């Protein structure tokens, strides 16, 4: 149960229950409900809840004022009221990010909910392999079959689980996401089942890396036959597309028939396009990777080994490693061994070493708890929990593991590491590296040397080059030392007492003490030197933390959040360092006034409790760079 779950449950009950909620969003301090019937809400009960500052009604919204913890409470209210799959709007501040960071954060967010189960399945799968290697039971026994089903089910039906988490991430109906994942795992459409049922109708792109067998068509359009079980990227891409389709349909289909027609059309459009185009494109990408590796190996085995090992985890994230696996199978069947894919072998041990170093260096208890089963799973040959749970979200450990793996992969490529029999993972792949014709152990010795190098270099590189971001210990509360400070006016205009602001959250000091300015110029300047902590997506509010400890909120106008970003141009982003007097925001004063909004702008110290008093300047007009208030 989350920290704010109890509060969220009480809020949902006292706004009239889930059925009374039309939509929910939040701004910088408050939950903004749109209710079917506001008379069903218990104002007085809500006001008395520990964690609720007050309740307000304005602009057709029922507003529950929370304060600094509004984002966390918002998340819990979504869960409690089961709002994740609806059109609830989340206005959590977000800085501009690169496409790479957006992709990383998206994949990490989709995998986070299933990581405990993924780790558990990996450990079970690894131990089952260990017990086979120790001769405790045979691979044909019922014991092996049962444990394999428990450990392997998670990986085989991964698209179903990812369909659920991707749906929540993209704000798609979660049951639509589940059906998308289940459809991708449906036995009758897998290429293995189709090939057993009969010969292909014809072959597409024959003689190229995109060669594909076609067993079925949809309205005359060829369906490229593939295996989607255990894949990652196809289900995520299809759910992303489905979310866009669903949101568009919700805007144009009448409310009276939405319940029936929106999911039907969403599933039909997204899955038909998914099977005909999205899935095949992902597979063609895999084929390109496999062909590229073979071409490089013909020139330099060492370089090919470095590429396979260095890129392996990235390929796994994108689902492109499937382009190399068929080469691996074909080589063992045809040649009696594989030496193309095998340089990847070191990544298992490099990843484990990186995770162990992270466990030692981090102060984050949650990271430690996640790292221990991920390390166990990794040493047994299943690295997905480590990749998705630790390396990918932290980014630099992923880079370290890729670079170290490239070095060891080059070593394996140079010495022609080979595997002669399929099966086994992690340490338990070693028996498959014994040459069955000569019984020579030389190839296995090469593998063992690589394992030793992987463990040492992965661990040392992480200890040297990775620095934890030092998250706050959940068991401790940081006490900031505050000092006397002068806060400059951030904007030009006439001084107004907070008590005169027509918003009780500010006028009654619920957020903190300070002043307001009836602005006469559309330029906001930093009132102190420090760091930008909040830039609201709509641009109407900016938060700063001064170098001396003051936390300051500048809120342009009243209810300007409803402009949804029109007429506001932030010049900074979260995390930027600013100097007092530096321009941080522009806005079109005249157009905001013409839209009917008040431009009285509160400037408040939100951590007022950390100070003895906040003293007003006593002046009636203010220019930026002049003293607005002092705190002590």
Nearest partner of 523 among 631, 629, 625, 624, judged by Cα: 624
CA distance 580 to 574: 16
Pairing of strands 568-570, 583-587: antiparallel
Q: Kind and range of the H or E element at 239? A: helix 233-252
Residue with token string 């009950």: 13
* Residues 242, 243, 247, 248, CA torsion sign: negative
What is the chain's alpha carbon radius of gyration, rounded to the nearest angstrom?
Answer: 29
Q: Cα-flanking dihedrals φ and ψ of residue 33, to 5°?
A: -90, 145
Nearest partner of 494 among 594, 604, 619, judged by Cα: 619
CA distance 609 to 261: 53
> Please, what's the largest Cα pairwise distance for the chain?
95
Instruction: Please give the angle made by the CA atoms of 337, 341 and 343, to the nearest 5 degrees.
Output: 105
Contacts of 16 (CB under 8 A, 6+ apart): 35, 36, 37, 40, 41
Residue with token string 């590229």: 292
CA distance 430 to 204: 39
Count of CB atoms within 10 A of residue 567's CB? 22
Q: Cα-flanking dihedrals φ and ψ of residue 134, to 5°?
A: -80, -5
Contact between 583 and 525 (Cβ < 8 Å):
yes
Pairing of strands 568-570, 551-555: unpaired
Query: What is residue 181's three-state secondary structure?
Result: helix
Nearest partner of 378 among 350, 404, 412, judged by Cα: 350
Q: Is 402 a catalytic residue?
A: no
Of 27, 185, 239, 346, catalytic: 27
Nearest partner of 392 among 106, 26, 79, judged by Cα: 106
222: which strand partners? 217
Q: Which two tokens stand for residue 579?
A: 């100097």
231: which strand partners? none
Could you give the residue numbers annotated as active site?
27
């Amino acid at each position: 149960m989350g920290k704010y779950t109890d509060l969220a449950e009480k809020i949902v009950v006292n706004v009239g229950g889930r059925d009374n909620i039309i939509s929910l969003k939040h701004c910088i301090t408050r939950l903004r409900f749109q209710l079917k019937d506001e008379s069903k809400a218990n104002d007085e009960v809500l006001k008395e809840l520990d964690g609720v500052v007050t309740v307000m009604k304005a602009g057709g919204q029922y507003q529950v004022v929370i304060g600094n913890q509004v984002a966390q409470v918002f998340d819990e209210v979504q869960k409690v009221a089961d709002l994740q799959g609806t059109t609830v709007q989340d206005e959590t501040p977000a800085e501009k990010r690169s496409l790479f960071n957006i992709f990383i954060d998206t994949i990490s967010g989709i995998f986070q909910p299933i990581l405990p189960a993924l780790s558990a399945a990996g450990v079970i799968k690894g131990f089952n392999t260990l017990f086979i290697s120790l001769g405790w039971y045979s691979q044909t026994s019922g014991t092996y079959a049962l444990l394999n089903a428990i450990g392997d089910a998670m990986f085989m039906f991964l698209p179903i689980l990812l369909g659920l988490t991707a749906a929540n991430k993209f704000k798609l109906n979660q049951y639509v996401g589940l059906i998308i994942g289940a459809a991708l795992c449906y036995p009758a459409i897998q290429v293995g089942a189709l090939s057993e049922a009969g010969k292909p109708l014809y072959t597409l792109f024959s003689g190229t890396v995109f060669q594909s067998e076609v067993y079925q068509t949809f309205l005359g359009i060829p369906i490229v036959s593939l295996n989607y079980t255990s894949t990652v990227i196809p289900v995520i891409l299809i759910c992303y597309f489905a979310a866009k389709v669903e949101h568009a349909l919700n805007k144009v289909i009448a409310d009276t028939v939405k319940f029936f027609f929106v999911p039907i059309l969403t599933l039909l459009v997204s899955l038909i396009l998914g099977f005909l185009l999205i899935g095949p494109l992902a597979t063609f990408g895999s084929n390109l990777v496999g062909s590229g590796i073979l071409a490089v190996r013909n020139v330099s085995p060492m370089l090919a080994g470095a590429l396979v090992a260095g890129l392996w985890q990235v390929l796994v994230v994108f689902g492109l490693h499937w382009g190399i696996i068929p080469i691996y199978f074909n080589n063992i069947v045809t040649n009696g061994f594989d030496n193309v894919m095998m340089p990847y072998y070191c990544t298992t041990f490099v990843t484990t070493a990186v995770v162990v170093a992270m466990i030692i260096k981090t102060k984050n208890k949650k990271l430690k708890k996640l790292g221990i089963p991920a390390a166990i799973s990794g040493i047994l040959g299943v690295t997905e929990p480590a990749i998705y749970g630790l390396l990918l979200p932290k980014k630099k450990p992923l880079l370290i593991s890729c670079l170290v793996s490239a070095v060891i992969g080059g070593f394996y490529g140079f010495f022609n590491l080979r595997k002669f029999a399929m099966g086994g993972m992690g340490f338990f792949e070693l028996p498959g590296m014994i040459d069955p014709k000569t019984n020579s152990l030389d190839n296995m010795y090469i593998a063992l040397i690589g394992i030793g190098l992987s463990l040492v270099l992965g661990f040392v590189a992480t200890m040297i080059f990775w620095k934890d971001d030092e998250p706050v210990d959940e068991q401790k509360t940081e006490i900031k030392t505050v000092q006397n400070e002068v806060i400059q006016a951030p904007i030009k205009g006439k001084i107004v007492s907070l008590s005169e602001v027509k918003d009780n959250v500010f006028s009654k000091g619920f957020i903190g003490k300070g002043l307001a300015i009836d602005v006469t110029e559309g330029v906001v300047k930093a009132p102190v030197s420090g760091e930008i902590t909040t830039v609201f997506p709509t641009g109407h509010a900016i938060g700063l933390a001064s170098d001396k400890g003051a936390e300051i909120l500048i809120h342009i106008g009243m209810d300007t959040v409803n402009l949804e970003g029109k007429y506001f141009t932030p010049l900074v982003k979260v995390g930027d360092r600013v100097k007092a007097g530096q321009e941080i925001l522009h806005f079109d004063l005249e157009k905001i006034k013409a839209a009917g909004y008040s431009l009285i702008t509160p400037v408040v110290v939100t951590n007022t409790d950390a100070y003895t008093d906040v003293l007003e300047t006593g002046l009636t007009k203010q220019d930026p760079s002049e003293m607005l208030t002092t705190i002590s």
